[in-house]
Structure 1
Amino acid sequence: MMKKTKAHFTCEYIINPQHRISVNLIGLGGTGSQVLDALARIDAALYKLGHPGLSVTCYDADTVSESNIGRQMFSPADIGLNKAVCLATRVNRFYGLDWEAVPEFYNLHSTPANITVSCVDTVKSRLLINDSLKSNYSANYLTNPYYWLDFGNSAKSGQVILGTPKKIAQPKKSTYNVVSKLPTIMDLYDLTQIDENESGPSCSLAEALKKQDLFINSTLAQLGSAILWSLFREGILNYHGIFLNLKTMRTNPLLLK
């Protein structure tokens, strides 16, 4: 008897919603600024396919600095502006959208969304997001958190992990061995054991590039966005993450278990 392939079927509400899918994009820095444009492209494609599309809210309390120019999606004219407001305004004008910006850090009182996309660089932020998603699960389709897509990277390597705060209903009869719960970044790794030291903001692009290579963020953003697109377009996943190493030019999928 052949062993069934493991698969996760996308939440039915994500595929056939009555309203636009709500998305919280947390962090608009090196990765988040790239992901925002990818979300706009996904929205445009979904709309053409008859799907209501996305309603994105951007969270970031930081302002644009000179060191951000070149590695993040900002220009010299943006220096001093809030990152979330700056990029949300730009993407709204470019694509004709009405997405929102919150010039604050995401917190436990923030309104949850169907899909949370975190592009943060601290363990503390991930712990807070995890607590928020688990405490805000409800029957309200507009704010019910179904998926959490987390981006993380070092100088030349990184990972993207798609998880589910709770189980997602799966087909009762399937040729696949269905997986209802995708492990989140918090399920896979005990981040509470990490001794994290804040290094502070970089004062120049040269200094910033010592911490994160020029193309690690944009490459990771494209790979993670491709997972999200598959969630909508294909409606089924055999993997829920990707590990990237730019030094060896290798990518490895995180298969379902």
Structure 2
Amino acid sequence: MKKKIINTAPLTAVHIVHKELLQPYNPISINLIGAGGTGSQMLTSLARMSQALNGLNHPGFVVTLFDDDRVQTANLARQLFTTAELGQYKSVALINRVNRFFGLNWKAETEKYDKQYCSIAQGMAPITISCVDTVKARFEIAEILNIYKKNSGGHRDKPLYWMDFGNSKDTGQVVLSTVGEIKQPTSKQFAPVGNLPFVTEKFKDLLLQSEMTDDTPSCSIAEALAKQDLFINSTLVNFGSSLIWQMFREGIIFNDALFLNLKEYRAQPLKIAA
């Protein structure tokens, strides 16, 4: 008689996406925070994804872009702005352009996404995407989302996911988190993980170390390019956008973060931890 072989290998850790994102009745609200090098690229990617999802019988997205900065000469080339937009609010310039091109009705906010703005329970969205420059801003976003987690109840736009982008001159990272626990189905094939920690928890020490870096404004295009490579933002956005696309197309993800080194042409995904 042959002995039965029992597979004792651990199951692969995955995250099953919240079902309300996959088959919604209305477009999914997304808060995009920051309209600079990364945010300007991310807005275009979200518009493309939304249009593609419409073709797959999904209502797509409705995006609110937050940024209180105005377009300056140093923003040209590395960020998606033209000389005709100098002096305009970044968020307004980008939203107007995307709305015209894709026939959308997305919204620009010329305010910071901070505790003051969110104090009257506005600013909720199932997905938050942050493209901010400072560690302080990330920790404030984390604090806001934690408050929403406790008080949102059955709100239609209850926060579910937070994707954070960060980069230096030629390196960067993108981290996907859940806002609290996302209920997971049982599975014999995988080990579903319902809680993906915030970037401020998962990489707290790394963030605090990077707080000392120089974030003073650039005065020229040359100075801006000396601080951040021309293609670091767009490359990082492509990876983050692919992760969001996988969430909506497949409903399951195997990685929740990625580290990019553009100088060495290396991208290192991080598997979801069981």
* Partners of 2:135 and 2:208 within 8 A in 1: no
Mapped to 1, the partners of 2:154 and 2:59 lie a distance apart of 18
Task: Flag as ranges the 4+ runs of structure 1 deviating above 4 A.
Answer: none
Mapped to 2, the partners of 1:244 and 1:150 lie a distance apart of 14
**Bigger Cα displacement from structure 2, 57-66 vs 167-176:** 167-176
**Bigger Cα displacement from structure 2, 174-183 vs 72-81:** 174-183
Aligned to 1:184: 198
Unaligned runs of 5+ in 1: none
Aligned to 2:246: 230
Mapped to 2, the partners of 1:173 and 1:247 lie a distance apart of 40
Amino acid across the alignment from 1:254: L
* Partners of 1:42 and 1:229 within 8 A in 2: yes
Amino acid across the alignment from 2:239: L
How many angstroms does 1:4 deviate by? 0.9
Amino acid across the alignment from 1:255: K
The number of residues matched between the two structures is 257
* Partners of 2:260 and 2:266 within 8 A in 1: yes
Larger Rg: 2
Mapped to 1, the partners of 2:182 and 2:14 lie a distance apart of 12
Alignment of 1:1-257 (within 5 A): 1=7, 2-108=9-115, 109=118, 110-137=122-149, 138-190=152-204, 193-194=208-209, 195-196=211-212, 199-257=215-273
C-alpha deviations, 1:110-152, integer Å up to 9, x for none?
4121000000010111011001111012234532110000000
Q: 1:74 aligns to what SS in structure 2?
A: coil
**Bigger Cα displacement from structure 2, 110-119 vs 52-61:** 110-119
Question: What percentage of aligned pairs have identical amino acids?
Answer: 46
How many angstroms does 1:197 deviate by? 5.6
CA separation of 1:135/1:63 partners in 2, compared to 1, >3 Å: closer, same or farther? same
Structure 2 length as normaliser, TM-score?
0.91
How many angstroms does 1:201 deviate by? 1.0
How many angstroms does 1:187 deviate by? 1.7
CA separation of 1:141/1:235 partners in 2, compared to 1, >3 Å: closer, same or farther? farther
RMSD: 1.3
Mapped to 2, the partners of 1:253 and 1:182 lie a distance apart of 15
* Partners of 1:167 and 1:181 within 8 A in 2: yes
Mapped to 2, the partners of 1:249 and 1:7 lie a distance apart of 27
How many angstroms does 1:164 deviate by? 0.7
Mapped to 2, the partners of 1:246 and 1:173 lie a distance apart of 37
Amino acid across the alignment from 1:46: L
Unaligned runs of 5+ in 2: 1-6
Mapped to 1, the partners of 2:215 and 2:14 lie a distance apart of 40
* Partners of 1:21 and 1:142 within 8 A in 2: no
Mapped to 2, the partners of 1:142 and 1:168 lie a distance apart of 15
C-alpha deviations, 1:78-113, integer Å up to 9, x for none?
100000011001100000000000001101214121
